[in-house]
Chains A and B, each alone.
Chain A
Amino acid sequence: NAGVTQTPKFQVLKTGQSMTLQCAQDMNHEYMSWYRQDPGMGLRLIHYSVGAGITDQGEVPNGYNVSRSTTEDFPLRLLSAAPSQTSVYFCASTTSGANQETQYFGPGTRLLVL
């Protein structure tokens, strides 16, 4: 299994541009999430999904859209990039069971908005 993959690894945008960060997992996990991590900070939840067709907002959803048309993919869209969105973005997928739950994280996308 490839686990959780993210593309691109790095991206530079100009203010106002839009783009989509891709995330895919091949573990058949129902739950997927997007986080952002700013320098010296922990991870903050942007959006999450509990299954195909179902998404919800996390702690910092403004300026981002998500969709979940398949179990495998969970893209994150920046509608109009702003310098405040400069960050490292992590996608995660989650297995859940009777007494165990772990999140598997992708390698991250480093985004710079000028």
Chain B
Amino acid sequence: LAKTTQPISMDSYEGQEVNITCSHNNIATNDYITWYQQFPSQGPRFIIQGYKTKVTNEVASLFIPADRKSSTLSLPRVSLSDTAVYYCLVGDNSGYALNFGKGTSLLVTP
């Protein structure tokens, strides 16, 4: 499984755009990039997934450069309720199980 590296923590104010970058230098050809969100005392929740270029949904955008060795999760206009841990995962869709790292702890303050 491709190893991922992401910042341990980030701080933001309400209303700002937050970008969390994940490095995955040894990503394989068949690997997808998936981001999860976890609130305290809850299981992780799927946010977004992509393979290349840009993916956008109602919650976030995911930017993946051509070499796919990194990806950036973009959260537009964050609110206090976006305070959570965000995990970047890389794996292929044969994909029974993905390993989570420590994630990025995002704190949003007024």
Q: Give complex CA distance A108, B45 in Å.
A: 13
Classify chain A's interface size.
Answer: 20 to 34
For chain B, the count of residues having a C-beta within 8 Å of the partner chain is: 23
Q: Which of A83-114 contact B (CB under 8 A)?
A: 90, 92, 94, 96-97, 99-108
B63 at the interface (CB under 8 A from A): no
Q: Helix, strand, loop or mixed for chain B's interface?
A: loop
Residue pair B42, A103 in contact (C-beta under 8 Å): no
Q: Does B13 contact A (CB under 8 A)?
A: no
B41 near A: Cβ within 8 Å?
yes
A100 (CB) vs chain B CBs: closest residue: B49
User: Which 10 pairs across A and B sit closest by C-beta, in order of nearness?
Assistant: A105-B43, A43-B100, A48-B97, A102-B46, A31-B96, A42-B100, A42-B102, A33-B97, A101-B93, A50-B96
